Amino acid sequence: MATSSVVQLLICSTAVVPVINYVQPTNATVIAGTGATNIYVNSNWVPSPLFYWYDNSSSLIQSGPSPTLTLANLQLANAGAYSVTAGNSAGMVSSNFTVVVIVTPSISSQPTDLLLHLGDPANFSVTASAVPGPAYQWFKNNTLIPGATATNYSIASVAYSDIATYSVVVSNSAGTITSAGAVLAIYSPTMAGTPASPGNGASGICYDTPLFITFNQAPLDWQNWESPHLQSHQHVHACGYD
């Protein structure tokens, strides 16, 4: 039996400067005020490096052997360029990464109800903020209005067919919010009502007596109204008196 020659394995104890293979993700996008986001750095050499993490103001926020940085509850001010440094006794190496903070839309001014005369101009508007800047889509009775994608929605000359509830959806990559509904109503040129009954200053009336007004016709958008808006009779609760 033949025996091979002896091969020697030499282990060098010389320290090697770390190399950062990658940082993942290099561009982290997080929604402001939400849960945690992990940043991972892949780096190895001998001896094992320690990791030093710096925020967007170059302040040290974490150090130690862990290759993972956990960022939680970030706000808009926390967005920017971050860095990580891997170091051992042989030297150091650094790599940068970016944290992008986006903010869900919020509405500070809602659309308001409008009561107009036939042919008047109408304008609904909303004030909203978000990062990145939001998109807008207006709806009429929950049906999308084509092309209505601005902060306001205008009608040059209102017609009876415009009587409806209008709302707007504000959205960006962080989320969506829907405004309150705003009602567009039009004065009727023919509708008339009798004075309220019981009348002002009436006596002998029970404290919970309903107040009724009689109209000569139903509202044009009667299907969107509840019955208490139109009464053609008077009803008074019976009650006793001393």
Query: What contacts 104, CB < 8 A, 6 or more positions away?
Result: 31, 32, 130, 172, 174, 175, 177
Q: Give the mean model confidence (pLDDT) for residues 220-225.
A: 46
CATH architecture of the domain 20-102 equals: Sandwich (2.60)
Query: What contacts 167, CB < 8 A, 6 or more positions away?
Result: 111, 138, 139, 142, 178, 179, 180, 181, 182
Task: Report in angstroms the alpha-carbon separations of 41 from 25, 48, 81, 105, 139.
Answer: 9, 13, 15, 32, 47
Does a cis peptide bond (omega within 30 degrees of 0) precede residue 67? Answer: no
Q: pLDDT tens digits, residue range 159-170?
A: 999 999 999 999
Q: pLDDT tens digits, residue range 116-172?
A: 999 999 999 999 999 999 999 999 999 999 999 999 999 999 999 999 999 999 999
| Residue type at 168 in one-letter notation | V
* Contact (Cβ atoms closer than 8 angstroms) between residue 122 and residue 114: yes
Predicted TM-score (pTM) of this structure = 0.71
What's the mean per-residue pLDDT of the chain? 85
CATH architecture of the domain 110-186 equals: Sandwich (2.60)
| Residue 218: HSE in the Cβ half-sphere, 13 Å Cα cutoff | 9
- Parts of the chain belonging to CATH 2.60.40.10: 20-102, 110-186
DSSP 134-147: PEEEEEETTEE-TT
What is the spatial distance between Cα 12 and Cα 24, in angstroms, rounded to a whole number? 31
Assign 169 to helix, strand or coil: strand
Assign 170 to helix, strand or coil: strand
Count of CB atoms within 10 A of residue 5's CB? 4
Assign 227 to helix, strand or coil: helix
Torsion angle in degrees (nearest 10) through CA of 224, 229, 231, 236: 140
Q: pLDDT tens digits, residue range 46-85?
A: 889 999 999 999 999 999 999 999 999 999 999 999 999 9
Q: pLDDT tens digits, residue range 168-191?
A: 999 999 999 999 999 999 997 776
The pLDDT, as a whole number, for residue 12 is: 45
Does a cis peptide bond (omega within 30 degrees of 0) precede residue 25? Answer: yes
